[in-house]
């Protein structure tokens, strides 16, 4: 028996040792997967293939692991506008690249400024005598804008191209809240501060409609001008003013209608398009799929063309997405995260700082936190320049205040200088089902703010006074930055949103230009010679886990097909329903969440799923997962 016990202990020890060994090996493999950059292949002579199966953004958000695991399909891909432009410019100069292929089969769009930047880079490719070919089954407004810069535009025989124009609808909950007997206490300053209107109205106010008409009219004119310049024969007026008559003239065949309006050049499926590209760049000898052609993919091309780093460093901090409290981001501008990046950068000896903004604003506290961190650079005699992409409104404008010069584009949405707060209370709804409140109070503020029993008049007065004080501070900051009095700023403030062209006339921005222009100006301000500096993007280090998820998501085209299967118009409409659901969730999150004072622009994204919308949707999925025990904590 003693011998048997010793043998048993030996076997148990052996089992524990093997389990420990396998566990150690597992974590070693996991570490290797997270830290070793996956091979993305090698550059081939042929075409540069850009399969944009997602959206073009300023700063891609990190993929949510829980959404990735429980979603029925891969999360929407996000492509940095800066990376796409860099890839195209490198392709224009490299003899190995004979043509650029834009696969827009599953393209979901982007902001106008980003699309115009990519379009300008496509023009550089064509100026280098290299053809640009675009393919999709369906082109919406954003796809039409990009494809207009191609030398050949193809569409699937069952596809088409449609122009909806800028603008769209917002959701209004005034009647719903009244039926539910929920009181939305609104505190605001600004005649045009329409971000609160969804909670107290059933439609758009005349003031908000006036501002929106001016804004979207300017953006629409800019879109038409860009397409007309790149594709002069395109009959934009016919497609946008009489879409039914235009389509009926081609017997309801949307592809032929698009060709007749010169929005596309040729009609053909993926194979026919691929064969056309192969005529120009050669066939892909290692791929037996019909329509394959020699090509290099986007990731491979970026990896082979890393940015050069000559001379001194100029720091670039990116403020993209809604500005929120905490460490959120990338994709959302978390005040704590960005302020920490900026403070760490004080030790990096940057010659200058460029603040790249693509934000509709958000939390005033987080906006001030970021502004103060940028101001600390200014106090160190570091030149600070602001560069606005698609959005630089409300809190997005607030964080630009320390800059000595502000760059924007005609299509930038900016201004929205105003402040608001919304606090819901439920006393009427709860009273109907027999829930009331009572208690002992020692001051008028005891137990306040009381979301169950309602807000005391003193609380409402104090919040409104706080909002007015914050607005006065906003006016003061803008006036100090732009050389204007508070009264002058108030006349162009009041929460009104402006397009970049009007904003320049009003003195809210200094000059037109993109990020490259802002960097060049910053270099000059730092007394650096041309070619003797490089940009360093704060917090731009790759997240290993995010990289692994992105590689895992793959794409249909990477499974063997060169050109991916695309959407039709009905599928795009279904996708809009998903975006609408996300918007509903985001709005619920916005009114019920603890937000504090807000400097947020409602008009900035009325018809596109934002990072906040995606965050709300992910939170909803996460809540469902937790309900069934699928936690990722």
Q: What does residue 597 show for φ and ψ, rounded to 5 degrees?
A: -65, 140
Dihedral (Cα; 451, 453, 456, 461), 10-degree rounding: 30
Quote the tokens at residue 38. Answer: 């996956």
Quote the tokens at residue 152. Answer: 């050949």
User: Any residues with CB less than 8 A from the CB of 388 and at least 6 apart, and which?
Assistant: 357, 358, 396, 400, 406, 407, 408, 409, 412, 414, 500, 509
Q: What is the pLDDT of residues 558-585, one digit of tens each?
A: 445 567 666 555 555 555 555 655 666 6
pLDDT score of 451: 79
Q: What does residue 405 show for φ and ψ, rounded to 5 degrees?
A: -150, 140
Q: What angle do CA 360, 365, 368 make, to 5 degrees?
A: 80
- Provide the whole-model pTM: 0.84
Locate the DSSP E strands across 162-248: 183-189
Number of neighbouring beta carbons within 10 Å of residue 99? 22
Q: What is the pLDDT of residues 81-104, one digit of tens each?
A: 999 999 999 999 999 999 999 999
Cα 416 to Cα 202, 238, 419, 420: the distances in Å are 22, 34, 9, 11
H/E element, 562:
none
Quote the tokens at residue 605. Answer: 């994204």
Q: How many CA atoms lie within 13 A of 430 on its CB side?
A: 13
Q: What is the CATH number of domain 44-163+238-307+541-567?
A: 3.90.226.10
pLDDT score of 35: 46
Q: What does residue 458 show for φ and ψ, rounded to 5 degrees?
A: -65, -40
Would you say 281 and 46 are in contact if contact means Cβ atoms under 8 Å apart? yes
Exposure of 347 by Cβ count < 10 A (0-12 exposed, 13-18 middle, 19+ buried)?
exposed
pLDDT score of 544: 52
Quote the tokens at residue 526. Answer: 């730092």
Residues classed as catalytic = 193, 394
Q: What is the pLDDT of residues 261-270, one digit of tens each?
A: 999 999 999 9
Locate the DSSP E strands across 90-171: 97-103, 109-110, 132-139, 152-161
Would you say 134 and 88 are in contact if contact means Cβ atoms under 8 Å apart? no
Low-confidence ranges of the chain (pLDDT < 50): 31, 33-39, 554-559, 606-633
pLDDT score of 2: 62
d(CA 211, CA 167): 12
Locate the DSSP E strands across 8-151: 46-51, 54-57, 77-80, 97-103, 109-110, 132-139
H/E element, 558:
none
Q: What does residue 283 show for φ and ψ, rounded to 5 degrees?
A: -80, 160
**Domain residues of the chain, as ranges?**
1-36, 44-163+238-307+541-567
pLDDT score of 449: 80
pLDDT score of 20: 67
pLDDT score of 284: 85
| Helix, strand and coil percent figures for the chain, each rounded to 5 | 45, 20, 35
Averaged pLDDT of the chain:
84
């Amino acid at each position: 028996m003693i011998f048997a016990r010793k043998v048993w202990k030996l076997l148990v020890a052996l089992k524990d040792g093997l389990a420990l060994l396998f566990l150690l090996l597992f974590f070693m493999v996991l570490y290797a997967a997270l830290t070793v950059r996956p091979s993305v292949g090698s550059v081939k002579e042929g075409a540069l293939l850009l399969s944009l199966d997602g959206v073009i953004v300023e700063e891609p958000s990190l993929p949510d692991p829980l959404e990735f695991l429980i979603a029925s399909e891969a999360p929407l891909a996000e492509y940095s506008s800066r990376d796409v432009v860099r890839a195209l410019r490198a392709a224009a100069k490299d003899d190995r690249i004979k043509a650029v292929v834009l696969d827009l089969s599953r393209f979901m769009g982007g902001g106008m400024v980003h699309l115009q930047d990519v379009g300008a880079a496509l023009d550089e490719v064509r100026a280098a005598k290299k053809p640009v070919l675009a393919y999709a089954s369906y082109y919406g407004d954003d796809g039409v804008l990009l494809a207009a810069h191609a030398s050949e535009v193809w569409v699937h025989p069952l596809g088409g191209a449609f122009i909806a124009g800028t603008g769209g609808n917002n959701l209004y909950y005034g009647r719903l809240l009244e039926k539910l007997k929920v009181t939305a206490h609104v505190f605001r300053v600004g005649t045009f501060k329409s971000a609160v209107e969804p909670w107290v109205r059933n439609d758009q106010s005349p003031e908000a409609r006036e501002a929106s008409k001016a804004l979207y009219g300017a953006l629409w004119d800019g879109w038409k001008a860009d397409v007309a310049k790149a594709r002069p024969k395109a009959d934009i007026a016919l497609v946008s003013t009489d879409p039914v008559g235009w389509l009926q003239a081609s017997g309801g065949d949307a592809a032929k209608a698009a060709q007749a309006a010169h929005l596309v050049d040729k009609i053909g499926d993926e194979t026919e398009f691929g064969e056309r590209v192969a005529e120009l760049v050669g066939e892909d000898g290692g791929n037996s799929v019909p329509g394959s052609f020699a090509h290099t993919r986007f990731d491979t091309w970026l990896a082979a063309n890393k940015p050069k780093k000559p001379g001194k460093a100029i720091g670039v901090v990116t403020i993209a997405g809604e500005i929120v409290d905490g460490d959120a981001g990338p994709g959302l501008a978390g005040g704590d995260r960005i302020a920490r990046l900026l403070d760490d950068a004080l030790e990096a000896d940057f010659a200058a700082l460029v603040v790249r903004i693509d934000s509709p604003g958000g939390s005033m506290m987080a906006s001030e936190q970021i502004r103060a961190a940028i101001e600390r650079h200014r106090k160190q005699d570091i030149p600070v320049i602001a560069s606005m992409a698609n959005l630089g409104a409300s809190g997005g404008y607030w964080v630009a205040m320390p800059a000595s010069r502000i760059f924007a584009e005609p299509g930038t949405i900016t201004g929205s200088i105003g402040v608001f707060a919304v606090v819901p209370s439920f006393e009427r709804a709860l009273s109907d089902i027999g829930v009331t409140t009572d208690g002992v109070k020692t001051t008028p503020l005891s137990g306040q703010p009381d979301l169950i029993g309602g807000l005391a008049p003193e609380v409402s007065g104090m919040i409104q006074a706080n909002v007015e004080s914050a607005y006065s501070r906003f006016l003061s900051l803008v006036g100090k930055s732009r050389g204007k009095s508070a009264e002058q700023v108030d006349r162009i403030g009041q929460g009104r949103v402006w397009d970049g062209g009007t904003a320049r006339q009003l003195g809210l921005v200094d000059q037109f230009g993109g990020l490259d222009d802002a960097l060049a100006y910053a270099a000059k301000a730092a007394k650096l010679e041309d070619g003797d500096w490089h940009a360093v993007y704060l917090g731009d280090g790759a997240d290993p886990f995010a990289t692994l998820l992105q590689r895992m998501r793959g794409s249909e085209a990477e499974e063997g097909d060169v050109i991916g299967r695309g959407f039709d118009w009905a599928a795009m409409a279904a996708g809009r329903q998903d975006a609408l659901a996300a918007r509903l969730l985001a709005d619920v999150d916005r009114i019920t969440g603890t937000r504090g004072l807000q400097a947020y622009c409602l008009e900035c994204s009325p018809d596109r799923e934002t990072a906040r919308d995606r965050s709300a949707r992910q939170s909803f999925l996460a809540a469902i997962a937790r309900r069934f025990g699928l936690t990722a904590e």
